[in-house]
Amino acid sequence: MLKTETPSAAHPDLDLYELPQLVSAFIEDQVEAVDAVRRAGPQLAAAVAAALPRIQAGGRILYAGAGTSGRLGVLDSVELYPTFSWPRERAVAVIAGGQQAMFVAIEGAEDDDVQGAADIAALNPGPNDVLLALAASGGTPYVLGAIRAAREAGALAIGFANNAGAPVTAAAELGITLDTGPEVISGSTRLKAGSAQKMALNTFSSSLMVKLNKVYGNLMVDLKATNAKLLRRAVALTMRASGADEALAREVLAKCDNHVKVALVAIKKNLTVQQSRELLDASGGSVRRALNG
């Protein structure tokens, strides 16, 4: 039996717990998710290193999964645009059962390896693309089909699974094992297995974005200010990084479509917005290189 399916020896009488003990059991079990991601740190670092040159060459980040794993892939793909201004067309997720599976469980869709391959093939993957293939069990046919199609097209396939020796990690060019063990509720991998996948995806994509010069220091200077909250954040980031007062920060941001990177370099180097953009372009998008150049 898969470890993710094995009943938890720590909580055989879960249904008898008083509420405080029950809540504590769920919370404490999440610590194992953190530990699993920590153990996978070297694998995650290797995956980012392998993906980086492909993405720098214009490749896309593709995601494939079923159920909770699929929804987590969609979530990661969607959040890259507002957080890092990453183009939507360069972060594309497919999920077993199609878009409706985001909201309604589509039973049986995960068992269709042919559809998994077809969904990825429909994206016309190429050698610079990177597939993140997610399966808690590690044997989901839909995900295995996606990996097969990606690799046949020359794309880099990275497999994430919550069981050691899983087919998904074996089929992928690089495998990341998030060994979270038995769940508090047997087999409910939306619990700590899902938490570990979310953390691993956050770590992978955020590390990639840092290396793509989307961050200055630890500030998200390439965010897309698409609402009032993010606009306030853009102002605060510009003030913090440049030392400018609010009035100046807002004035320069208004001239560059609220692009923190551009405003920051313009203020710090006393440049026009156009000069700032040109300097950033010449610096590969790196604020640090633009400021020190």
Strand partners, 219: 216
Contacts of 215 (CB under 8 A, 6+ apart): 209, 221, 222
Which residue in this structure is represented by tokens 């939507």?
Answer: 88
Task: For residues 196 and 41, give the distance between their C-alpha atoms in angstroms, rounded to a whole number.
Answer: 12
Task: For residues 164 and 143, give the distance between their C-alpha atoms in angstroms, rounded to a whole number.
Answer: 16
Q: Compute φ and ψ for 156, nearest 5 degrees.
A: -80, 125
User: b vs e for 19-36, b when ≥16 Cβ sit within 10 Å of the residue's Cβ?
Assistant: eeeeeebbeebeebbebb
Active centre residues (catalytic): 79, 110
**Beta strand pairing call for 61-65 and 91-95:** parallel
